[in-house]
Amino acid sequence: MNKKSVDIKDKTPKLISGKRITKEKNNIRRNKKTRHGRLIPRIVYLIALISSAIYVSNQGGGLSYVLFFSILLYIPVAFLQIVMTRVALRIYQDVGDRILYKNSAVPYQITVSNAWIIPLGNVRLIKAKEVTDFEDDFTGEIYNFLPFENKIIETKMSCKYAGSYVEGIEKIQISDIFGIMDITYDIPAPLRVYVLPSITDVAYTDINRVFEEMADKRNRFRSERDDISLGNDTRKYMPGDSINSVHWKNYARSRELYVRLPDKQDTEMLTVVMMPYKKSDIVTRDYMLEFIVSAVNYFVKQSKPIKVIYYCAGIQEVLIENHDSFRSFYMDKMRVLGTSGKEISEGAYDKLEETARKAGGAVAFFYEEDGRLTGA
């Protein structure tokens, strides 16, 4: 059995747009510049604190002590200012619909407001970098707020991976007026969305390979049988037929080439058993969702049924036979399969294998860990 592994990283979407590549590079440069810029105020503060301490020890006097304690007490005062900003900020973000499509831009809006009578400042919005892409990236800006001021930001957002996770802005960073210290925290109400996978042909090659392996396995078994009579499951050899499907015993007897046809049940239906990965992440989950949708679409286009077996709080089975059932599977079951963080029980894999043995017909296993499809 061929257990060829697939590098999941090779299956992730590439940035082929020059505009997007330039934007990503600019964001990286801007983030590096921001990190370096935050070090300068801290170094200056330490130099000032040490200098004032030396000044106190050498000169004494009221002025030196006032200067020293003013610099020393700045940190707790700055911390209090950050806490007050944290309490006064109100954040709301929306995309209109929580069911999105991978790599499709949708209108996005975030409202940040100051609920207090005092001004607030030095606020940065931090996006979910791994999964979110904004058409106009506003996350590098520093925002200041007058009393009771609202700031509304509108742009378009796209999701890089299929699955269920937090999108948009996920954290807020607040710093003091000089940028000496900052605190980053998760926003109280994150934007959780369900991202449906793209419908591609990524599974077609693997499905054909698995069927060829199954056919070769059956033909080897048949070739070992004693009977050499021809039946309804054979036809004359045609150029392009697999050499493994040739009825060699008949050829030895009659010198005529015939090939064996695959069993009807094996060409009519496939059962795919989804084997989850305990360390599943957004990349493996994205490829799993895209692969299974591609496999289902492959059979629906040929008007053939396919059964999917997966684990979600127990063994679940779904049969897809036509376009209506495909749409239901795509819109409903993809959200279930795409939900991350579900616990996999110890006996889940054994139960999946046991269910597969009882399925009958052609059965294949898809392993989320490395994106591998193998015949049973």
pLDDT digits (tens, 9 = 90+) for 166-209: 889 999 999 998 889 899 999 988 998 899 999 999 998 888 88
Residue 179: strand, helix, or coil: coil
Q: Is 371 left (phi over 0), alpha (psi -120 to 50) or beta?
A: left
Closest CA to 162 of 95, 94, 104: 104
Count of helices and strands (H, E) across the chain:
11, 18
Read off the pLDDT band of 249 (50, 70, 90): confident
CATH number of 17-196: 2.60.40.10
- Residue 189: the pLDDT is 86
- Stated as kind and residue range, the H or E segment containing 363 is strand 362-367
Residue 310 and residue 334 in contact, taking contact as beta carbons nearer than 8 Å: no
CB count in 10 Å sphere of residue 237: 16
Inter-residue contact 135 to 118 (CB < 8 Å): no
Domain 265-375 - what CATH class?
alpha beta
Answer yes or no: are the C-beta atoms of 75 and 183 closer than 8 Å: no
Q: Is this structure's pTM higher than 0.85? A: no
Residue 134 has phi, psi (to 5 degrees) of: -100, 140
Question: What is the DSSP-derived secondary structure letter of residue 322?
Answer: S
Give residue for tokens 């008007």.
Answer: 303
pLDDT tens for each residue of 26-51: 554 555 555 556 788 888 889 988 99
Domain definitions of the chain by residue range: 17-196, 265-375
